[in-house]
Amino acid sequence: MLCRPSHPGNIGAAARAMKTMGLADLRLVTPERYPAPEADWMATNAIDVLHSSRIHNTLVEAIEDCVAAFAMSARPREWSPQVLDARSAAASAMALEGDVAFVFGNETAGLTNEEVFACQFLVHIPASPEFSSLNLAQAVQVMAYELFMAQAPGAVRGRSEKPATVADLEGLYAHLEEAARETNFMASGSRLRERWRRLFSRVPALEREEVNIMRGLLRALLGK
């Protein structure tokens, strides 16, 4: 997923990077200029991936059907989800059952704090400390390669329960906030929102039934 990309050439180059590694689901969040001929030029033989991309108004909308979202950022955040390097993130993603999203920010500003906290993981691509900035399409290529290499052909997953989606987790977070406010547990200026997001980011494969159990408990405690 590309959030607010400003250069259409990077959109096309990202589509090409994805196709070379067997990926096809490209989603765009409020691109500055798209469709555009520059995107088609850079996509070359990945026009099918480019033209099947979906455009969304918000990141939350774009990832709501995913079981996890990985925010790509070279900048550390004081209050961030669980932090992984690119290779570890690829392995974690492949261990999940269901669609996962890798979220890339704007070429100049990257991801906002709000976009990072909409995700469950923060991912860094290791690079030279003297110059660690990658072009957007280059970063997509590196992450797509790591995902390709992390695939385990013929692996059998024994999971039977449905994994929780991002929308399920957002519902839980909203329910937690409601309970915290009604019980006066959330003080003014509290960082509870960030803390419980970081807490649940350490559980990479919550099941929908587990989220429902927690929300059922909250309803019982609140008497509604």
CATH assignment of 166-222, among 1.10.8.590, 1.10.3720.10, 3.40.190.10, 1.10.275.10: 1.10.8.590
Identify the pLDDT of residue 76: 74
Identify the pLDDT of residue 155: 46
Identify the pLDDT of residue 188: 66
Q: Residue 149's Cα: distance from chain center in Å?
A: 19
Identify the pLDDT of residue 79: 64
Q: Which of 212, 166, 191 is nearest to 69 (CA)?
A: 166
- Are 75 and 127 within 8 A, CB to CB? no
**What residues contact 41, with CB distance under 8 A and at least 6 apart?**
9, 12
Q: Which of 132, 117, 107 is nearest to 191 (CA)?
A: 117
Query: What is the chain's pLDDT, residue by residue, as a tens digit (224 residues)?
Result: 999 999 999 999 999 999 999 999 999 999 999 999 999 999 999 999 999 999 999 999 999 999 999 999 988 776 667 789 999 999 999 999 899 999 999 999 999 999 998 999 999 999 998 888 899 999 999 999 999 999 865 444 455 678 899 999 999 999 999 999 898 888 766 788 888 998 988 887 789 999 999 999 999 988 87
Please state, in angstroms and rounded to a whole number, the distance separating the CA atoms of residues 140 and 168.
27
Identify the pLDDT of residue 202: 83
- Backbone angles phi and psi of 69, in degrees to 5: -130, 135
Please state, in angstroms and rounded to a whole number, the distance separating the CA atoms of residues 174 and 171.
5
Domain ranges of the chain: 2-150, 166-222
Domain 2-150 in CATH: superfamily? SPOUT methyltransferase, trefoil knot domain (3.40.1280.10)
pTM of the model: 0.79
The Cβ of residue 89 has, within 10 Å, a number of other Cβ atoms equal to: 27
CA angle at residue 211 from 207 to 212, to 5 degrees?
115
